[in-house]
Amino acid sequence: MRTLAILPLIAVFGCAHQKPEAKAQAATPPAAAPQQAAATPASTNSCSRDVDCGNGQLCVDGRCADISSNLALCTSVRVHFDFNKSDISSADRDGLERAARCLKADRELHIAIAGNADERGTEEYNMALGDHRAHAVADYLRSLGASDQQLQTVSYGKEKPLCSEHDEACWAQNRRAELMAQNSAGKASKKGRRK
């Protein structure tokens, strides 16, 4: 009889002991879960050129990287123009889109946009054409999210040729606008007429 009285007590205490053990087993993740957790940080650091990494970072070769260590990618942009034109071609948009992503990600980044012309035409005409080209680039960058405070335009006209030959191939190189990082005082590293 004593055995019969103890059996219900063993069953109650035995079941109570089983429940926490079952909970502990349920709380233990399967072996595959740690591998998934290890893969998560890599996916948050990967990016595509259409996605803003944020926090002062730029998408470089599919990975988010600090803009400050990749500043050349943001500012080494050269836009070329047709004769007597200031329209931005589709071929030059990728570089400008990359620069705009940098400007949006790092609001402390400031650039000067230098407009240039080939040697043909008067000095006054080429200064005005360089100014139109620089402003066309600035307008495009603003349309992509850059702020007015980050952009400064300058025209060099025909004063700063890349090529000195007197033929179309050379003139095509000189018809350009270039992005240049500005120093902390907000001045471009080259001198020209600022607007």
CA distance 132 to 88: 11
113 is a domain residue: yes
What amino acid occupies position 144? L
Structural domain includes residue 52: no
In a 13 Å sphere around the CA of 115, the CA atoms on its Cβ side amount to: 28
Query: What is 47-98 written as a DSSP string?
Result: --TTS--BTTEEEETTEEEETGGGHHHHH--EEE--TT--PPPGGGHHHHHH
Q: Which residues contact 134 (CB under 8 A, 6 or more apart)?
A: 113, 114, 115, 153, 154, 155, 177, 195
Q: Is residue 134 part of a domain?
A: yes
Q: Is residue 11 part of a domain?
A: no
Range of the domain at 172: 75-194
Q: What is the CATH number of the domain that holds 113?
A: 3.30.1330.60
Q: Is residue 159 situated within a structural domain?
A: yes
Give domain status of residue 64, yes or no: no
| Residue 63 lies inside a defined structural domain of this protein | no
Could you give the number of structural domains in the chain?
Answer: 1
Phi and psi torsions of 155, nearest 5°: -115, 130
User: Beta partners for 177?
Assistant: 79, 115
| β pairing state of 57-60 and 63-66 | antiparallel
Question: What tens-digit pLDDT sequence spans the chain (195 residues)?
Answer: 555 555 454 444 554 444 444 444 444 444 443 333 333 233 356 777 656 676 667 777 677 777 766 677 778 899 999 999 999 999 999 999 999 988 988 889 999 999 999 999 999 999 999 999 999 999 999 999 999 999 999 999 999 999 999 999 999 999 999 999 885 445 544 444 444
